[in-house]
Amino acid sequence: MAMNKQGHAQWSSSFGFVLAAVGSAVGLGNIWKFPYMVGESGGSAFVIAYLFCIALVGFPILVAEWLIGRRGQKNPVNTFADVAASQGKSRSWGIVGASGILGGFLILSFYSVIGGWALNYITKIASGEFAGQDGDAVGATFDAMLASAGTLTIWHTVFMVLTAIIVGMGVTGGIEKTAKVLMPLLGLILFVIAGYNVMNGGFGEAVAYLFAPDLSKLTADVMLAALGHAFFTLSIGMGIMIAYGSYLGREVNLLKTARTVVILDTVIALAAGLAIFPIIFSNGLDPASGPGLIFVSLPIAFGSMGAGTIIGTLFFLLITFAAITSSISLLEPTVEFLEERTSMSRTVSTIVASIVIWLLGIAALLSFNLWADFTIMGNGVFDALDKLTSKFILPLTGLAAIIFLGWQMDQRSVQQELGLSNGTWTLWQIISKFVAPIAVVIVFVTTLMG
């Protein structure tokens, strides 16, 4: 990693940047959350809404965040304030960066809990615990894990410590190198499981379930869920991509890079769907079983398939790897902010932030057992954190970013920076000024009124 003129570290190559961005985007969102949300929303209606949201809202906002981050060259709060000031606008735009950083705290707290489930399942599957077990036994194992505050705390702690160590090592040593090793592995293992499914049944049914258009299920709620998930899966609406953009060199083409990241992220989510749903259908399991979906269904299949222990162990290793390259990106903006705004070193910033997030995670995991009866507006702590971030903070922060880019920044310089000629520039303007922001507002208002 080289230094730029301001002495702020910079990505050593655009390849390293793509890897880190893909590492952030591809995570539990693709492999744990996408399938269970598809299952809860009845299949293809969600998939179609999600693809639209990715293309028309997610993609432009991803570009907007990188562009703003590259202009600002600082943490998200100072970046937003500085870039706004340079355009003759109010420095209070910095609030957008701050709301993103807050979102990171909230997301990482429950994200780390699920990362812990995945870690725990590596050991469970590797030890052959599920061999020959039926659905009831596998479900009971999952329920027992949820019921044990101690078990959940241990694995949540291990996950959080791993994340903190990598972030504490700094962007070069941590994020870049980790992504380089882990991402190709991730693609490979998913491919192996999907391939196994083609030979072992349920594949056609899964394809129909995921892709046969059934618009009767396309309600406002499904739309909001799909919109929120588009933000979650691309890591936008939280300042992470703004922070990453601040490490981005001038020569990197934002549109092309965003296209690569969006395509890879979407392909991995769909591949996860093809790895998971055939197993669910061929074993007569319920696709709508919620956040436990991959944990209560897959072990049954791994327990009965040949080489299931190896494939299953690899699968949960993969999920954990993907989760860690994402969680380091959830922690990074907060650490960058503390490091630049306070006198704390990177190490101390990392430790302080991690402890606060870890404590919040404890509150989230207790909602599965000891605090099960404690609800905030009808939701347990875990669900409340998930909904508050995915359905509110991410879309609203992302909306602010795209409005800022489309309506507050000098458009000539944006056109130059994106390298677009007249026809494609007009298309970009229609999408960034109108389609993306209006889509977010419509989905939002419809849901609030419904």
Contact residues toward ligand TRP (CB under 6 A) are: 24-25, 27-30, 107, 232-233, 235, 238, 240, 326, 329-330, 394
CB atoms within 10 A of CB 424: 13
Output the smallest distance, CB 332 to ligand TRP, in A: 9
Output the smallest distance, CB 58 to ligand TRP, in A: 11
Query: What phi-psi label fits residue 134: left (phi over 0), alpha (psi between -120 and 50 degrees) or beta?
Result: beta
Residue type for position 21: A
Output the smallest distance, CB 193 to ligand TRP, in A: 18
Output the smallest distance, CB 29 to ligand TRP, in A: 2
Cα distance between residue 90 and residue 268, in whole Å: 40
Dihedral sign computed on CA atoms, order 35, 37, 41, 47: negative
Output the smallest distance, CB 22 to ligand TRP, in A: 10
Question: b/e for 390-418, b at 16 or more Cβ within 10 A?
Answer: bbbbbbbbbbbbbbbbbeebeeeebbebb
Instruction: Please say which residue, 19 or 414, places its beta carbon nearer to ligand TRP.
Output: 19
Instruction: Please say which residue, 272 or 274, places its beta carbon nearer to ligand TRP.
Output: 272
Residue type for position 16: G
Instruction: Please say which residue, 28 or 300, places its beta carbon nearer to ligand TRP.
Output: 28
Alpha helices (H) in 201-253, listed in sequence order: 203-211, 220-234, 240-245
Instruction: Please say which residue, 20 or 138, places its beta carbon nearer to ligand TRP.
Output: 20
Angle between helices 346-366 and 149-168 in degrees, nearest 10: 160
Instruction: Please say which residue, 25 or 138, places its beta carbon nearer to ligand TRP.
Output: 25
Instruction: Please say which residue, 25 or 96, places its beta carbon nearer to ligand TRP.
Output: 25
Instruction: Please say which residue, 22 or 414, places its beta carbon nearer to ligand TRP.
Output: 22
In sequence order, the 6+-apart residues with CB closer than 8 A to the CB of 313 are: 122, 125, 126
Instruction: Please say which residue, 21 or 206, places its beta carbon nearer to ligand TRP.
Output: 21
Which helix (H) or strand (E) segment holds residue 164: the answer is: helix 149-168
Residue whose CB is nearest to ligand TRP in the complex, by number:
29
Output the smallest distance, CB 198 to ligand TRP, in A: 25
Instruction: Please say which residue, 309 or 329, places its beta carbon nearer to ligand TRP.
Output: 329
Output the smallest distance, CB 30 to ligand TRP, in A: 5
Output the smallest distance, CB 444 to ligand TRP, in A: 17
Output the smallest distance, CB 390 to ligand TRP, in A: 8
- Scanning the structure block, which residue is given the tokens 């954990």? 320
Which backbone phi and psi does 2 adopt, to 5 degrees? Answer: -95, 170
Give how far Cα 177 sits from Cα of 87, 115, 367, Å.
36, 20, 35
Cα distance between residue 291 and residue 334, in whole Å: 27
Give how far Cα 401 sits from Cα of 25, 78, 358, 404, Å.
18, 14, 29, 5
